[in-house]
Structure 1
Amino acid sequence: MDAELRARFVESMSRVASAVTVVTTDGEAGRFGVTVSSMTSVSADTSRPSLLVSIHHLSPAGEAIRKNRRFCANVLSGNQTFVSDLFSGRLKHLNEDRFGEIPWHSGVTGAPIIEGAIASLDCELKTALLWGTHFILIGEVEQIELSRQRSPLVYANRGYRRAIPIAPEDRQPHDPHNQLRVGFFITLGPEFVPSLVADFASRTPAVDIRLLEADHDDLVEQMRAGKIDAAVTFGTVDEPELEAEVICPADPHVLLSADHPLAAKPSLRLGDVAELPMILLDYPSVRGAVAALFERNGLKPNVRLQSPSFAMVRGLVAQGLGYTLVPQAPRNRDRRGGETRAVPLKVDFPEGALVALARRPDRQSELARDFLARCKRSFQIQPDQERVGGRPAAGTKVR
């Protein structure tokens, strides 16, 4: 086997978001369950609907399913990470009686239906095919139970996620003359968005403003799909249909607890903090930007804790549990649970530039142009500002 090809395949599959499913069975071969991320429908239009699961050939659950000839695919809800860990074998001290740790009941085939799963599909096994190291099991559905839960537990980038809408569902026609849909990178809201929106709303009170907070890639996707008219985010964009303009050059800072020995320094270099525990804001674009920054400087981050909440990240930093990196100097200090200090970081960090995204000029609405102009003025940016320290100047088109 080509080891490099295998490694790249495993990495590529880790980036594919999948619903987390616990496949269970019961019968003469015993009661078993196993967590999988490979469950998919086969057909809804046969005599009975059918689905497919893939299970490692050494899994006791897989062997039991082939002998019992029945299984139930329980699609977990976003609050069932414990159940996933339980049946993946991560909680080894509970391996002897996993089903004793959760509520469940038997389906029509006898396979356990896990309560609280968003959907449980009880199946009769029809086909078992060994391919490489995994059995591909195809079953016909005999019973389906749906719970009140609707948001599935998702696994992607080697971690759990929740499936949430990245743009509000809006069935009304969009009128570019009196409706503005704007997206912001998730951390910009508390410090930047309210005053900006209040100013814009006071000047254009008849305009219906819709806001979306999301990660960088989600904002680009929503721009591409025409779901939002403009966006303010960090980093670079390579989209021929979009215009990206720097409205604030990167100004990276290290966020430390107020009593940290490095907090009194006038500035820091990346090597000064590389070996210290890091608190990482857990978003794909942030992880990518941090990884690229350290790799360019021949270093590796020492990530201790991760959270998708910047308020949580700041709180952990304030308690002295580590440091974090921010692309711009914070405007406010968080006084809840302790104070933090922001120390300038002397490093080139193009991923930290604040950029405005819009459609090509011939496709921009007047409202979007006006809003982005106010964004630029709020940062007091001069379009002809020169590049400083290798950072893109404001007004620079970035790709």
Structure 2
Amino acid sequence: MPGFIPDSDSEDELPPGWEEKAATDGHVFYVNHKLKSTQWTHPRTGKMKRVSGELPIGWERRTEEGSDQILFYNKTTNQSTYTDPRLAFAVEEQTQNVRDVRQRFDASSTALQVLHGKDLSGKLAVITGANAGIGLETAKSLAFHGCEVILACRNEQSALEGIKMITKEKQLAGRKCSFMKLDLASLEATKRFTDELKTKVRHIDYLILNAAVMGLPHTLTVDGLEITFQVCHLSHFYLTLELESLLDHNSRVVIVSSESHRFANLPVDHLTEPKLSPPARSFWSMMAYNNAKLCNVLFARQLAKNWQQRGISVFALHPGNMISTSLSRNYWIYRLLFAVVRPFTKSLQQGASTTVYCATADELKGLTGLYFNNCFFCEPSKLAQNDAMAESLWKISEEMIASRLNRKAM
């Protein structure tokens, strides 16, 4: 929690123990020396600033010998400093308002239409469950526009086939798409994935939590948890927190939920592990999916609050109703139902559009904690807007992870 900030005659004056600095890209960040922490928003105003333009006359940027640290040298006075001299002229970035965003796309829009004219060169996306369906379509669309994509999946063969299809279709360089093993049915495997990823990349622009399972009979993971809950929510929760160091104010976390979250039956009060990960006697696969998708929206809501000071945008979304993907593969009734409604549902390109929009749309910069459907804002269910429930889910999720990992470490 942020510490107490004393009154000041100037709203923009920093509290004692705080220091203002500028990153190499011009964004201003704030250092709290007492807590040894940093954030992108001003500790009093909650606003973000940026420096721009050339250095003042007589100043030049240098690299300190023996390190990569940037120094600013004044040729007139022969003095050097670590503080960017443009900080005195930093200006506040315009905060986006939801009411100012007009709808540019709808249910018929495709991911490639959303990305039309965009150059994503130099960007990196990590997409879970990207070996098939909407995840693969999302990966393909981003890669076609220059984004480097890591397909984080359990099924290596399927992922490699997807990568082959993408690279062959657009003759992309091999580095544009790569596979990394991720088994969300295991917390230890999730940790191995995040540890390996942190050795390979320094920054993630788009963390897209897309993987899900549905229609499975009551099945326990190696961690002793119901698999729908763990794959759809808990392991994604753990993965995101483990990757926090790779995310900054230029990053977005996009969580693929579903409108089925509106039919969840989780209790508002006294949320417990047996309610989230039910025993076989009280298990129904469809309700397990509904509840897991509610957890997605609640997680997005709380994560947005917790990371708001860091300037990271967090969005949850519904991709479309009963799109023809492998999600229905586990139960013949769902396969039949999906087949019947197929002529009336979105294509995979249309299903990936809202994910791509949340990840890349310029007009969403500065916004966070929102739920989307058909590439535009949508009010989630009343349960999904319950702050106490979001906080409770966060706490229980942390406890469930700690208990499993600590138990195995003993």
Q: TM-score normalized by structure 1? A: 0.26
Larger radius of gyration: 1
Q: TM-score normalized by structure 2? A: 0.25
Instruction: Please identify which structure carries the higher helix content.
Output: 2
